[in-house]
Amino acid sequence: MNVLVINCGSSSLKFQLINSQSEQVLAKGLCERIGIDGSLTYQPEGQDKIKEAKAMPTHTEAIQFVIEALTDPATGVVKDLKEIGAVGHRVVHGGEAFASSVVITEEVLAAIEDCNDLAPLHNPANLIGIRACMELMPGTPMVAVFDTAFHQTMPEKAYMYGLPYDYYKNYKVRRYGFHGTSHSFVSKRAAEIFGKPCEEVKTIVCHLGNGASVCAVDGGKSVDTSMGLTPLEGLVMGTRSGDIDPAILEFLAKKEGLDITGLMNMLNKKSGVFGLSGNLSSDFRDLETAADEGNPLAKAALEVFAYRVAKYVGGYAAAMNGVDVIAFTAGIGENASIVREMVLGYLGYLGITLDSEANKGRGKEIRISTEDSNVLVMVIPTNEELAIARETVALV
């Protein structure tokens, strides 16, 4: 079966067509600037990218262009839509309603819409993409795969905030976590490498990208994760602050004359390593170069980032009363060897020794702990699109 994987944003749409038997990516691409002027980037497997300007007033036109590209007689990879057996949609927030992926029905759409308040920038866009696909591909099974679902196994002690209980009862204010498809995919692969069933393995996954989170996976289930009600909680990230003293907001509101919109903009878009580096960059390649050249703010930003990751890893090792595997993944986790080295520098007490030569590897699956280490430390590239395709096939 060929599965079309859709990741729909407010003005963009990423897609991959994956053969579920071989797990080969047949084609992939990106629609950008939807609702503005529009462009389509399309790449059949093994061929060059094709980029075209195309008017995309709505996501329906974007999906139509994706279908036309996939079925184009010259550059397409399928003859017609009958060769696409299902569509898997990434949905950011499923709240407490969804603890697993589901086949999409009108009832499911209504439940996703009920979660819009929890993810106002993402869920509405996800719904637009789903409805556009349903309109253009009637009769093709659609599956929703939720970022939050994997973390619904967290116990109450991990997901409750120290707030009045009525806020949870009335508004479902609690910790949900994100990057669930990535944490699930990587933790399963970690267990395979470790050589035991995932039910017998304690894994800590460090998904480190511009958005970053750490997850404790005990016996194949998420028992804690660093992101919370929103993706703002937890690690210092590219432009997000991560954990802070909440009273800072009142302090800065008075000092800077900021309203709630201004404060949230600061926390989400002007903070993290970008803010710490004096607005130098949120790209770790730029920060590494600047740090090597002696920029003290860039060096400090890297140190703060690594220190926060190490603290979460240490905390989750305690929460699970041990750890078998630590896995680094996503853009920074897979490629920034200096960050991995800095994080592991705090974890010697776990009996971990870094293999410095192996740690020079980038973007591939490698063991970076020495053979005599008590904990297996790996770099495991994530593949959220493949994870979504697998979830989709399992349901249809």
The neighbour count for residue 163, using CB atoms within 10 Å, is: 10
| Whole-number Å distance between alpha carbons of 54 and 212 | 33
Instruction: State the sign of the Cα–Cα–Cα–Cα dihedral 108, 110, 116, 118.
Output: negative
Phi, psi torsion values for 43, nearest 5 degrees: -140, 105
Task: Spot the catalytic one: 48, 117, 147, 372.
Answer: 147
The neighbour count for residue 6, using CB atoms within 10 Å, is: 24
| Whole-number Å distance between alpha carbons of 168 and 181 | 25
User: Could you give the count of Cα atoms lying within 13 Å of 325 in the half-sphere of its Cβ?
Assistant: 31
* 310, 343 contact by CB (below 8 A): yes
Instruction: State the sign of the Cα–Cα–Cα–Cα dihedral 373, 375, 381, 387.
Output: positive
The 8-class DSSP code of residue 194 comes to H
* 342, 206 contact by CB (below 8 A): no
147 is catalytic: yes
* 5, 16 contact by CB (below 8 A): yes
- b/e map 53-78, b = 16+ CB within 10 Å: ebebeebbbbbbbbbebbbeeeebbb
* 8, 126 contact by CB (below 8 A): yes
The neighbour count for residue 153, using CB atoms within 10 Å, is: 16
Residues forming the active site: 147
